[in-house]
Amino acid sequence: MTTITRFAPSPTGRLHVGNIRTALHNWMLAQKAGGRFMLRIDDTDAERSREEYVEAIREDLAWLGLHPDGEERQSARLSLYDEAFERLKDAGRVYPAYETQQELELKRKVQLGRGLPPIYDRAALALSEDDRAANEAAGEMPHWRFRLDHDEPITWEDGVRGAQKFDAAQLSDPVIRRADGSWLYMLPSCVDDIDMGITDVLRGEDHVSNTAVQVQMFTALGAQPPRFAHEALLVGREGKLSKRLGSLGCDAFRERGIEPEALIALLARLGTSLPVEPIAHRDTLVGTFDLSTFGRAPAKFDDAELDRVNTAIVHQLDYADVADRLPHGMYDAAWHAIRPNLETVGGAREWWAIVQGPVTPPEMNGDTRAYLAEAASTLEWSATPWQDLTATLKAQTGRKGKDLFLPLRQALTGQNHGPDMGELLPLIGEKEARKRLQNAASS
């Protein structure tokens, strides 16, 4: 059977780092098996869904290189949900309930006050046809619940958590349809998974109880449930669930200069027993992807670790990978020279400006100015001008180490540190280099 996974975001906001991790792992699971990765837009909430967010989701996945093999939108599939709903109603697996939110909240408070779990008491099942008719005559439209089968335990073998077992009697019959006819998550998701042939559902551990309910829904609809796996949720570095993680999205990462490959490298391994490494080749990451390496402990997302991985990834990027993002006129040799000194590709702009000049050297003392004047007159252009210049000056002046190199760097770049001068000086050029040395010597 072909492995088919799906990523099912709601277009009510931008993707955040937790969503991105879920999408990535589903993509990797499909890639590892030579299968298909599907995008499902869960846009049944007409009030909160926005077309701009649908486009943003597509753009973010494209930026990450997670290209779906197909896309479905729940808003275009409402007739399928209606048909499944009628089948379940005919089979006695859904029933109308009329309690208001306030009444349900009061019931929960009473149960909690008695030390009982806040499980729906199925009071609506005791209503007669006359009771229901009276409610509706009074203008009370029902919401609809899925009736769980209490006779059999709910079990599945979870890809991360291992054997799972739930007592259906300890779960509330979930509301699947609101009084206004709109859908909640549970039933449409099952219908879509069946219709789209989804074989594997990999999602956060906050969905475990949903899975217990949906296992019975699949069975009630006459379908084999997909394989389920629930990974630990992301937490912040401080070890607590962080609201800030919800604001970390692709747009924020792009603004910071984070490379998609760095984000992929970090999130691919986060929460597993495998080390996070700056691996730029996705085939390597996919090859080592294995649900058996996923742990149960919360996965800690650390901005500093992302920055570290990003810097290492930038240092691996070839000129062809970044040419369209570099400042005008910057060429292959310049990228090669500047790349080891960068944390982000955007930082190349500052160093290219230094190469092109002008630069402002720090104020020098008399001895240093004399040294730089000698350097200007000594400079002879060759295939290795920096090495030749410093070797000659060392022999002539007896300077070495910092005293030999730092004044030259300051005069030529205006900086105390930076890229290898052996590569940088040829970019500056003979005429400009001599000019800078002379300017620093006379300043």
Annotated binding site for ATP: 243
Contact 59, 48 (CB under 8 A): no
32-67 as b/e: b if 16+ CB within 10 A = bbebbbbbbbbbbbeeebeeebbebbbebbeebebe
Contact 380, 388 (CB under 8 A): yes
Determine the angle formed by the axes of helices 385-397 and 421-428, rounding to 10 degrees: 110
C-alpha 279/C-alpha 299 separation (Å) is 19
Determine the angle formed by the axes of helices 78-90 and 186-195, rounding to 10 degrees: 110
Contact 261, 309 (CB under 8 A): no
Sign of the four-CA dihedral 81, 136, 213, 28 = positive
Binding-site residue set: 243
Write the single-letter amino acid at 129: E
Sign of the four-CA dihedral 349, 350, 351, 357 = positive
